[in-house]
A and B are shown apart, each in its own frame.
Chain A
Amino acid sequence: KAGVTQTPRYLIKTRGQQVTLSCSPISGHRSVSWYQQTPGQGLQFLFEYFSETQRNKGNFPGRFSGRQFSNSRSEMNVSTLELGDSALYLCASSLTGQSYGYTFGSGTRLTVV
């Protein structure tokens, strides 16, 4: 079966711009979570969506937002980009949540210049 697909794979943006990242989960998976990974901080939880509703949210500023569509595909948006937003953004899907683990995509590498 197809894995978790994240697009684009690489992205370069300028400070102050906004960006939208996309995630297509494994077919049938209803939970989608987003993580930010930087060398010093490791993987940090952004938010989780389940059946189009944000079920949980991490400790990130309001510039980071997301949504989930009826087909479970999810997008995350970052507005007013800052240099510190440069990171690998990972999407993970599961059937209903974390209990039996997540399947991750390959990530989107965002560079803010």
Chain B
Amino acid sequence: TQLLEQSPQFLSIQEGENLTVYCNSSSVFSSLQWYRQEPGEGPVLLVTVVTGGEVKKLKRLTFQFGDARKDSSLHITAAQPGDTGLYLCPSNTGNQFYFGTGTSLTVIP
């Protein structure tokens, strides 16, 4: 059974600050996705990383996949209120995703 931990569970910051959220697994990810979910909507896929050590940038968001493919981080530079949402990195177990409870981010204007 793959154990998944996302931290922190809750994060509230001021607009313009930087932040990092983490995703750690007890097992190796075959591939890893990050999603963001806004209140009342479904999660939206932000990025997929496949190779250990891979770094992907999406505007102010930087995603890093650990060398051992068991952990990942998401760094947001100069956070904006539009970044508010629930950030999820599901683990793969067979043909289903385990999403966990994610990191809830609030960016205060």
Residue numbers of A with Cβ under 8 A of B are 4, 33, 35, 41-45, 48, 55-56, 58, 88, 90, 92, 97-107, 109
Contacts and interface: CB of A to CB of B under 8 A. Distances in A.
Interface string B6-36: 0000000000000000000000001101010
Contact of A102 (B97, B100, B102): B97
A104 B43 contact: yes
A42 to B, nearest CB: 4
Contacts of A104: 35, 42-44
B99 A56 contact: no
Contacts, number: 57
Interface of A is mostly: strand
Interface residues of B, number: 22
B102 A42 contact: yes
B96 interface: yes
Interface string B76-109: 0000000000001000101111111110000000
Contacts of B45: 101-103
B92 A42 contact: no
A98 B102 contact: no
Contacts of A41: 101
